[in-house]
RNA sequence: GGCGGUGUAGCUCAGCCGGUUAGAGCGACGGUUUCAUAAGCCGUAGGUCCCCAGUUCAAGUCUGGGCACCGCCA
């Protein structure tokens, strides 16, 4: 049994459709999952949707649908989007599935049995229009921001998870396991939140059914449903097979959660303390990425500046968008998305550097070697340098991807592309080809270029799977990905055999021009 | 208001424990080549390392203060 690699994306809330933020999370996870598969690991990659709660119920009411019909429709669109983008998740998790609801109830029961849930009555300011209690943030001048009416004091009783009892344990755990929550900045942020208390208390985990029926009933009180995170977070555990499937714990201990910084608190605090209260082990770790700004403004629906991945795909193909996201964002930090920047960068890297290398190599192979991988003659220092560049790229891609640093991995990979371009220029096979006495030298040069392209295609496969497959097909080894083991095979020079037929084909990455909004 | 982060070439960013003339990619500019997607390759461009003060033989790199932006909390 090979080593398990388990990766989850956030469980996206279905009150809207995927935009660049969701797409980024899922694409990074997809890239990691693809890499680890190529490394021969036993990968389980899960994404999914969170379908319960007030907003879904409200949206369904507004649409004149039942919540189930509404979420079937919206969740279907999420699934269809990921399918259209060729993402390779092993499971699309829905919190309305029977398995999920059952698991949530087991979890709630466990925490209840452990004496970690308490029934409490409290008073708050309730807005009838919103059908919920308001926080300071929801009000302005004592009025509900949405309804511009004064909320009324109301008493309600709910179940609370005694989260604060676990804060010192959590702080210790984070201190002792610095790798659990990374990058460090976010670990520090969580520690700060716990340390100063800062309003973090016990967590309300229920809603009375009369007020919210769209949820999972609490097993110990049928008049209440689970609320928000206590329902949603369990998906990660359920996806690993908990509580009934044999082997769930092995998978769980290798599970990494990839999240955006907006949901740091639920994942960095709620979730570990819930698991601890339930007597369950922690997953392997949490990795936090930053946010995309759109032309330096914040992504928000009200600004109408969400980037729809399907629109990007339609305009430019998905590869440039995917490449830009993976290459531009330093993992953990915020980045800015702009269509013109995407075009500029992908033209430089994909069209000019890689696409052109591919094109010139296959063209010369067709012209000077009868469209087959040539038999090389003796090799020298220059060939050795290209081969070393491939080995270096394979090592670097492995190292950086295991740290989730897709931008550094791609940077390293493109150093190989650059090395190959320099190599061709220096060897000048188009000149050598005019001299019959240098025929062997031409064969050696083109052979080296073909091997380099094979290495590039293999290492590119996690990042741009479609392009990699096209490259391998044209290099005459369409099934290469089925047997490869990275990073070791990235530097193999004997897997693409002389005599293998190659195909020139159209531009791998056509140069792009900005398409203005209508 | 509290806590934290960020502020380095036009743009995006590297710069670990303080130490030779501050780096990379992209863009720009010049040169060169023709196998190739008007692509490639070579070279150049000189930015008060946000500001002020301090510690030190020596500070983007440490300390204090200030400014700007961002995040979390209130």
Q: What is the pLDDT of residues A141-179, one digit of tens each?
A: 677 766 777 788 888 899 999 998 898 899 888 888 888
Q: CA at A181, C1' at B58: how many angstroms apart?
A: 37
What is the distance between the alpha carbons of residues A160 and A137, in angstroms, rounded to a whole number?
22
Q: Which two tokens stand for residue A419?
A: 């090395």
What is residue A344's predicted lDDT score, i.e. its pLDDT?
85
Confidence of residue A341 (pLDDT cuts 50, 70, 90): confident
Average pLDDT, chain A: 89
In the 493-512 stretch of chain A, whose C-beta falls under 7 Å of nucleic acid strand B? 507-511
**A130 tagged catalytic:** yes
Give, rounded to a whole angstrom, the gap between the first and last alpha carbons of chain A. 54
What is residue A149's predicted lDDT score, i.e. its pLDDT?
75
Q: CA at A345, C1' at B45: how many angstroms apart?
A: 21
Q: Bigger pLDDT: A133 or A387?
A: A387
What is the distance between the alpha carbons of residues A321 and A318, in angstroms, rounded to a whole number?
5
Run of H or E including A287: strand A285-289
- A247-278 pLDDT, tens per residue? 999 999 999 999 988 888 899 999 999 999 99
Q: Is the CB of A219 under 7 A from strand B?
A: no
What is residue A174's predicted lDDT score, i.e. its pLDDT?
87
Answer whether residue A198 shows pLDDT above 60: no
The SS3 assignment for A445 reads: helix
Answer whether residue A43 shows pLDDT above 90: yes
Confidence of residue A81 (pLDDT cuts 50, 70, 90): very high
Q: Bigger pLDDT: A203 or A142?
A: A203
- What is the mean predicted confidence (pLDDT) over A50-61? 89
Q: CA at A332, C1' at B20: how many angstroms apart?
A: 34
What is the distance between the alpha carbons of residues A253 and A281, in angstroms, rounded to a whole number?
7
Going by the DSSP 8-state scheme, the letter that residue A391 receives in this structure is H
Q: Is the CB of A109 under 7 A from strand B?
A: no
Q: Who contacts A385 (Cβ-Cβ below 8 Å, separation ≥6)?
A: A419, A423
Pairing relationship of beta strands A42-50 and A91-94 according to DSSP bridges: parallel
Query: Chain B positions under 7 Å from a protein CB?
Result: 2-5, 11-14, 25-27, 34-42, 70-74
Q: Is the CB of A333 under 7 A from strand B?
A: yes
Q: What is the ipTM of this complex?
A: 0.87
Which of A89, A101, A144, A449 is the catalytic position?
A144
DSSP for A165-201 reads GGHHHHHHHHHH-TTTEESHHHHHHHHHHHHT-TT--
**A267 tagged catalytic:** no
What is residue A302's predicted lDDT score, i.e. its pLDDT?
47
- What is the mean predicted confidence (pLDDT) over A463-481? 96
Nucleotide nearest to A357 (CA to C1'): B36
Nucleotide nearest to A423 (CA to C1'): B41
Backbone angles phi, psi at A506, to 5 degrees: -80, 175
What is the distance between the alpha carbons of residues A250 and A180, in angstroms, rounded to a whole number?
17
Confidence of residue A137 (pLDDT cuts 50, 70, 90): low
Q: Is the CB of A425 under 7 A from strand B?
A: yes
Contact between A258 and A89 (Cβ < 8 Å)? no
Q: Is the CB of A73 under 7 A from strand B?
A: no
Nucleotide nearest to A188 (CA to C1'): B4
Tell me the percentage of chain A whose pLDDT exceeds 90: 60
Q: CA at A188, C1' at B66: how many angstroms apart?
A: 25
**A226 tagged catalytic:** no
- What is the mean predicted confidence (pLDDT) over A398-417? 89
Least confident of A26-30, A286-290, A352-356: A286-290
Q: Who contacts A214 (Cβ-Cβ below 8 Å, separation ≥6)?
A: A52, A53, A54, A56, A57, A60, A67, A225
Domains of chain A in sequence order: 4-116+162-289 (3.40.50.620), 339-491 (1.10.730.10)
Contact between A67 and A214 (Cβ < 8 Å)? yes
- Block residue for tokens 């080593």: A3
- What is the mean predicted confidence (pLDDT) over A64-85? 95
**A209 tagged catalytic:** no
Q: Is the CB of A294 under 7 A from strand B?
A: no
In the 348-387 stretch of chain A, whose C-beta falls under 7 Å of nucleic acid strand B? 348-349, 351-356, 358-360, 363-364, 367
Q: Is the CB of A298 under 7 A from strand B?
A: yes
Contact between A343 and A513 (Cβ < 8 Å)? yes
Q: Is the CB of A345 under 7 A from strand B?
A: yes
Percentages helix, strand, coil for chain A (3-state, rounded to 5) are 50, 15, 30
- What is the mean predicted confidence (pLDDT) over A116-139? 77
Q: Counting runs of H as helices and runs of E as strands, what totals does chain A give?
A: 21, 18
Answer whether residue A301 shows pLDDT above 70: no
**A147 tagged catalytic:** yes
What is residue A298's predicted lDDT score, i.e. its pLDDT?
46
Nucleotide nearest to A512 (CA to C1'): B37
Q: CA at A189, C1' at B71: how many angstroms apart?
A: 10
Confidence of residue A106 (pLDDT cuts 50, 70, 90): very high
Confidence of residue A300 (pLDDT cuts 50, 70, 90): very low
- A304-329 pLDDT, tens per residue? 556 889 988 998 999 999 999 998 88
Going by the DSSP 8-state scheme, the letter that residue A489 receives in this structure is G
- A426-452 pLDDT, tens per residue? 999 999 999 999 999 999 999 999 999
Which of A36, A89, A127, A291 is the catalytic position?
A127
What is residue A369's predicted lDDT score, i.e. its pLDDT?
94
What is residue A319's predicted lDDT score, i.e. its pLDDT?
93
Pairing relationship of beta strands A42-50 and A4-13 according to DSSP bridges: parallel
Confidence of residue A4 (pLDDT cuts 50, 70, 90): very high
What is residue A296's predicted lDDT score, i.e. its pLDDT?
46
Give the angle A91-A187-A48 at the CA atoms, nearest 5°. Answer: 15
Query: What number of residues does chain A have?
Result: 518
**A289 tagged catalytic:** no
- What is the mean predicted confidence (pLDDT) over A234-243? 95
């Amino acid at each position: 049994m090979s080593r398990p690699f388990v990766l989850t994306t956030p469980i996206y809330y279905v009150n809207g459709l995927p935009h660049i933020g969701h797409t980024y999370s899922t694409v990074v996870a997809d890239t990691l999952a693809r890499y680890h598969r190529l490394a021969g690991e036993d990968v389980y990659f899960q994404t999914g949707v969170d379908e319960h709660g007030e907003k879904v119920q409200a949206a369904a009411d507004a649409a004149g649908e039942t919540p189930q019909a509404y979420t079937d429709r919206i969740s279907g669109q999420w699934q269809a989007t990921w399918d259209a983008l060729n993402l390779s998740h092993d499971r699309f998790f829905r919190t309305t599935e029977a398995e999920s609801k059952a698991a949530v109830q087991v979890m709630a029961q466990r925490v209840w049995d452990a004496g970690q849930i308490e029934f409490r009555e409290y008073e708050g300011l309730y807005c009838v229009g919103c059908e919920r209690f308001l926080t300071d943030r929801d009000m302005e001048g004592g009025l509900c921001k949405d309804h511009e009416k004064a909320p009324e004091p109301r008493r309600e009783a709910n179940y609370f998870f005694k989260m604060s009892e676990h804060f010192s344990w959590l702080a210790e755990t984070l201190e002792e396991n610095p790798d659990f929550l990374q990058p460090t900045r976010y670990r520090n942020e969580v520690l700060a939140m716990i340390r100063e208390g800062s309003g973090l208390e016990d967590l309300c985990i229920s809603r009375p059914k009369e007020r919210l029926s769209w949820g999972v009933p609490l097993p110990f009180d049928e008049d209440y449903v689970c609320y928000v995170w206590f329902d949603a977070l369990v998906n990660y555990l359920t996806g690993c097979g908990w509580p009934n499937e044999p082997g769930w714990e092995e998978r769980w201990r290798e599970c990494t959660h990839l999240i955006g910084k907006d949901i740091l608190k639920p994942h960095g605090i709620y979730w570990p303390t819930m698991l601890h209260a339930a007597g369950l082990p922690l997953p392997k770790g949490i990795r936090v990425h930053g946010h995309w700004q759109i032309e330096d403004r914040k992504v928000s629906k009200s600004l109408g500046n969400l980037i729809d991945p399907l629109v990007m795909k339609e305009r430019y193909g998905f590869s440039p968008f995917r490449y830009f996201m993976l290459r531009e964002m330093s993992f953990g930090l915020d980045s800015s998305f702009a269509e013109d920047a995407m075009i500029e960068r992908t033209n430089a890297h994909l069209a000019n550097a890689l696409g052109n290398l591919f094109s010139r190599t296959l063209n010369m192979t067709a012209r000077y070697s009868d469209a087959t991988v040539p038999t090389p003659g003796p090799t020298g220092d220059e060939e050795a340098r290209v081969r070393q560049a491939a080995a270096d790229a394979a090592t670097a891609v492995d190292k950086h991807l295991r740290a989730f640093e897709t931008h550094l991995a791609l940077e390293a990979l493109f150093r190989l592309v650059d090395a190959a371009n320099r190599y061709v220029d220096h060897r000048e096979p188009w000149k050598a080809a005019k001299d019959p006495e240098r025929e062997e030298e031409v064969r050696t040069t083109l052979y080296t270029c073909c091997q380099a392209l094979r290495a590039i295609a293999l290492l590119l496969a996690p990042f741009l799977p479609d392009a990699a497959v096209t490259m391998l097909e044209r290099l005459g080894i369409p099934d290469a990905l089925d047997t490869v083991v990275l990073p070791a095979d990235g530097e193999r020079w004997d897997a693409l055999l002389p005599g293998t037929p190659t195909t020139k084909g159209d531009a791998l990455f056509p140069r792009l021009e900005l398409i203005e909004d209508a």
